[in-house]
Structure 1
Amino acid sequence: MAALTAGVPDKVEILALVESALAWDLNGGILPTGNDALRMAEQFADYGRIVADDLRTLVLSIPADSDVAIRAQATLSEASRRLPLPPPPDTPRAAGRRAQNLARLVQGLCRAAGRITEEQARTVRRTPQQATQKGTLE
């Protein structure tokens, strides 16, 4: 993944914030402050843009018609629609929903990047075996 810009938490910090945001009960209980939720939403959006940029590059390394690439493209399409949305009104519930939605998007982007990395590893493992089989006589 690309180096993070100043002010954007690293992956471990973001994933901890994601878990925290997803644990909020926005239909009752204690809501986060609007400012806290908006700040987290902004961090998720910033991190999401970085991961989406990296994911676009990763997708190019696998066959475009593979299931993994098709799913990653769908996730990238969703990210392109949701990451640039303006902040919601400064109400705790609206800001909390925005933060939770972006948290889920960050999870999806990270999951897609992980799947592509796994696909690349499988391809590398298969390639040497195929090369050896080409030289064998039957």
Structure 2
Amino acid sequence: MASLTPAIPGKAVVPDKVEVLENVTRALGWDLTGPDVPPADVALGMVEQFTRYGVVLADNLRVRCLSITADSLAGRCAQATLGEASRRLSLPPPPASAPRAAARRAQNLARLVQGLHRAAGEVGEEQARTRRHPPQ
């Protein structure tokens, strides 16, 4: 299901960003209140993909946060998102016998991926402001 970027020796294989973001949109479009719940294997595949991608995003965001002040708005928001990521990305996947739970987890991780991207954008903007106007 997930196409992966080629493995580089010493580096983890990371899901393709475009495919991940397409699957984020797809997962968030699921209506889990009705009878048409996606198959467990589809949802669990997305759970795995979002988890692997989220770990890479969180690691990159953590490193980028080192270059901004921790008390900036972007820094505080990023730290909150990273805290949520550390809790959610370490959870074991739901059982394959629970398709609704798997789909819910996929949706929650999809929202987390969006939050990590948003936080990375805010940190990037803060980094740019700091470069333009270094602290005195």
TM-score, scaled to structure 1: 0.85
* SS of structure 2 residue aligned to 1:70: helix
Residue 115 (str. 1) matches residue 111 (str. 2): no
* Corresponding residue of 2:18: 12
Q: CA deviation at 1:126?
A: 2.2
- Note if contact 2:54-2:116 (Cα within 8 Å) is conserved in structure 1: yes
- Which protein has the bigger helix share? 1
C-alpha separation between the residues in 2 aligned to 1:18 and 1:10? 12
* SS of structure 2 residue aligned to 1:85: coil
Q: For this pair of structures, how many residues does the alignment match?
A: 126
Q: CA deviation at 1:79?
A: 0.5
* SS of structure 1 residue aligned to 2:55: helix
Q: How does 1:2-41 map to 2 (within 5 A)?
A: 5-6=12-13, 8-41=14-47
What's the Cα RMSD here? 1.8
Mark the runs of 5 or more structure 1 residues left unpaired by the alignment: 132-138
Q: CA deviation at 1:29?
A: 4.5
C-alpha separation between the residues in 2 aligned to 1:12 and 1:122? 28
- Note if contact 2:15-2:52 (Cα within 8 Å) is conserved in structure 1: no
C-alpha separation between the residues in 2 aligned to 1:29 and 1:108? 28
* Corresponding residue of 1:93: 100
* Corresponding residue of 1:54: 60
Q: How does 1:56-75 map to 2 (within 5 A)?
A: 56-75=62-81
C-alpha separation between the residues in 2 aligned to 1:114 and 1:12? 17
C-alpha separation between the residues in 2 aligned to 1:85 and 1:23? 23
Letter in 2 for 1:115: E
C-alpha separation between the residues in 2 aligned to 1:82 and 1:9? 18
C-alpha separation between the residues in 2 aligned to 1:103 and 1:94? 14
* Corresponding residue of 2:49: 43
Letter in 1 for 2:127: Q
**Is the radius of gyration larger for structure 1 or structure 2?**
1
